């Protein structure tokens, strides 16, 4: 027979208050939907930037922009 022994220098388990302070992780579906929304918003901003030259010249001077057009 083989006996396996471990030393006493183990890593202690996190305490209850340490676990309570940790923010809960979002589930996979919510993270996927957040990423999808963010990517669609970026695509919309790129599309607006592509067609910003079609906006009237005084559109920017009035400060009434709906979306940023200075996106790189």
pLDDT digits (tens, 9 = 90+) for 14-57: 676 666 666 788 899 999 999 999 999 999 989 988 988 887 76
Burial of 12 by CB count in 10 Å (0-12 exposed, 13-18 middle, 19+ buried)?
A: exposed
pLDDT digits over 1-16, tens only? 677 766 666 666 767 6
CA angle 10, 13, 18 (to 5 degrees): 140
Please tell me the pTM assigned to this model.
Answer: 0.48
């Amino acid at each position: 027979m083989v006996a396996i022994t471990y030393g006493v220098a183990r890593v202690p388990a996190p305490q209850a208050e340490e676990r309570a302070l940790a923010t809960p992780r979002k589930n996979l579906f919510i993270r996927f939907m957040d990423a999808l929304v963010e990517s669609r918003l970026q695509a919309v901003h790129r599309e607006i930037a592509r067609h910003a030259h079609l906006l009237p010249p005084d559109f920017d001077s009035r400060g009434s922009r709906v979306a940023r057009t200075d996106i790189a």
